[in-house]
Chain A
Amino acid sequence: MNIENKLLKLSSLEGLVLKLNQDGKQVFAPVKKDNIVNFAPVSAFHEMTQDYIVTARSAKFVVFPRVETILEMQFSKDNITLKDKDLSSIPDAVLLGTRPCDAAGFKVLTSIFEGDYIDNIYVTRLKKTTIISISCNNYDAKCFCTSVNVHPGGTAGSDILLTRIDNDNFLAEIVTEKGKEIVNKFDTLFDIAPDVNKDSLVANVPVEFDLSAILGKIYPRFESDIWVEQSLRCIGCGTCAYVCPTCGCFDIQDVSDGHNGQRKRSWDSCGFDLFTLHSSGHNPRNTQSKRWRQRILHKFVYVPEQDNILGCVGCGRCSRACSVDMNLKEHLINLIGELTK
């Protein structure tokens, strides 16, 4: 659909959050707790903070929970019954205050969970989630969205994109039918949009490297020493994957007490040794450098080739969360330097 513009007053957001909650939707927004900002359920707009570049952890858990029951089982004396996931029990949700990079991240996850085998659990959760993003008017040294084709005012992945016009007003771009439903339902909260130049309202995040120069050159350097050099200090904690908006790799485990059980899908990370360990003890990615190479190649080579979408949105969360200060932006710049020598 064509994007439709509206005006949303800051004061109307209080009413919107209230009404969305009353409408039975679970609203998630950035909440500051112990000085760390993360998405959490809110019942009123004032619980949301506006003091954040991006949240510490991504918003992906709303659509792709950290641990999710994918089917249930019951055991009786001589019988096993499998119970399918009840997709209708998945609640309607609204993500408020995601950044354009967060919203773009869902596009990457969707490319993984759709395809030949459609993961209906993910697809249903995404369908039931309305994403109301807020454009960035600020950025920090770890941000590099514009270097990976994401824009601080980009609408990709959002249902509604809000851009701050001044202290009291947002430009609301209605991107999808799902966004339009919200506007139609609560139309008294929205006004006619003023004529504004959106580009002048969003942060001017500099392009710091040219990925197109190297995308075709990374894979042939599979055996390069650069992977070892870059990952010498990596401790394999997997935090980068847990905060990442596009990491979709998962594990499947059963939990059972002998009478009832659940099969659960949970986040996993290519940074872990166990991720690829064979039962024989052989491990194809037996060193941290091989696992680091997998992380970079998956995002910048494999996902783009398979799904025609870059697997990184430049939010910089992995760099902010890394306990040994591995900086993805710097590593990519270093990689480009090496590969274009």
Chain B
Amino acid sequence: MNEQNIYMPYLMRIETVRDEAPFVKTFRLKFINEEILNRFTFKTGQFGEYSAIGEGESTFCIASSPTLKGYIECTFRQTGKVTNALAMKGEDDVIGFRGPYGNFFPIHEWKNKNLLFIAGGIALPPLRSVIWNCLDLRNDYKDVTIIYGAKTVDELIYKHELKTWDERSDVKLVTTVDPGNETPEWKGKIGFVPTVLDEVAPSSENTVAIVCGPPIMIKYTFPVLEKLGFTSENIFTTLENRMKCGFGKCGRCNVGKVFVCKDGPVFTYKQLKELPQEY
């Protein structure tokens, strides 16, 4: 980071562009400056400010695992001025990046535990970073279960990786789509994520649950987890409120007393229970 100007982004070159789902893309990004390329590190769960230079900045997590060196990835959906401008970019184009910002998932505290990942729709990217980080340290963890749902089959992202996880004997993957949106060839579950979680009913014994999804999914998933016996300190989530600066100055991402950008984005359900519903 430019020591003088906290708003100055690094320049990154787009190495590859992958279409994930309608209006959802993944960029693989490489720092142009060699020194920064070698120096840059982050922890899983952290995020950045990505810019289509000349159009503005958007906040996304770093969707790749920190175990992968030499590049980072981000996945985003086209929803506005900046993300539409980013979507126009192709391989070799240059974008800006500031970060990493925020706290991270305490994966070293999860050693020798079962991991239950629950994600909905476009919220899989932050969990994808943790999932790969943990799978790259596979011996540190016991059972790994992933429950992932989207509105439609088409909207499931990282389809190639879902296949990889499905084929791995050391990962249990459950995918689901909203009722009515299944296709004739759909082999996964049909139902909303909280319902499917209830149905799959993973054991809470020695298990941490990591949840990320739209606010409505999170709201209905927590009670199911509690019913399954998960304690609130063993449920982790990552929030994403609207942000501009990424370091606690622009004033909009706070949930009560805490800034999602500085104190989060990773919180336990226990922490969230002590906060007002401002997310």
Chain A contact residues, CB within 8 Å of chain B: 70-71, 73, 75, 79-80, 82, 84-85, 87, 112-113, 115-121, 219, 222-223, 248-254, 256, 258, 261, 263, 265, 268, 270, 275-280, 282, 284-285, 290, 294, 297-298, 301-302, 305
Q: Which of A80, A251, A298 interacts with B11 by CB under 8 Å?
A: A80
A55 to B148: give the CA distance in the assembly, Å. Answer: 57
Q: Which of B4, B9, B57 interacts with A120 by CB under 8 Å?
A: B4
Residues from chain A with a CB closer than 8 A to the CB of B249 are: 112-113, 115, 117, 119, 248, 250
* Chain B 101-119 near chain A by CB (<8 Å), digits 1 or 0: 0000000000000000000
Q: Which applies to chain B's interface (DSSP): helix, strand, loop or mixed?
A: loop
Q: From known contacts A116-B247, A117-B6, A117-B248, infer whether A284 and B53 are also in contact, taking CB-CB under 8 Å.
A: no
Residues from chain B with a CB closer than 8 A to the CB of A276 are: 241-242, 252-253
> Which residue from chain B places its CB closest to the CB of A285 in the assembled complex?
B278
> Which residue from chain A places its CB closest to the CB of B242 in the assembled complex?
A276
**A252–B250 touching, CB < 8 Å:** yes
A40 to chain B, nearest CB (A): 28
Q: From known contacts A250-B244, A278-B242, infer whether A222 and B256 are also in contact, taking CB-CB under 8 Å.
A: yes
B180 located at the interface, meaning its Cβ lies under 8 Å from any Cβ of chain A in the complex? no
Residues from chain B with a CB closer than 8 A to the CB of A121 are: 5
**A70–B5 touching, CB < 8 Å:** yes
Residues from chain A with a CB closer than 8 A to the CB of B262 are: 116
**B250–A277 touching, CB < 8 Å:** no
**B244–A252 touching, CB < 8 Å:** yes
A115 to B209: give the CA distance in the assembly, Å. Answer: 34
In B28-54, the 8 Å CB interface with A consists of 51, 53-54
Residues from chain A with a CB closer than 8 A to the CB of B7 are: 70-71, 252, 263, 265
Q: Which of A84, A87, A115, A261 interacts with B248 by CB under 8 Å?
A: A115
**A248–B248 touching, CB < 8 Å:** no
**B257–A219 touching, CB < 8 Å:** yes
Q: Which of B214, B250, B251 interacts with A298 by CB under 8 Å?
A: B251
> Which residue from chain B places its CB closest to the CB of A252 in the assembled complex?
B244
* Chain B 1-40 near chain A by CB (<8 Å), digits 1 or 0: 0101111110100000000000000000000000000000
Residues from chain B with a CB closer than 8 A to the CB of A250 are: 244-245, 249-251
In B255-279, the 8 Å CB interface with A consists of 255-257, 262, 276-279
Q: From known contacts A87-B4, A121-B5, A252-B57, infer whether A279 and B251 are also in contact, taking CB-CB under 8 Å.
A: no
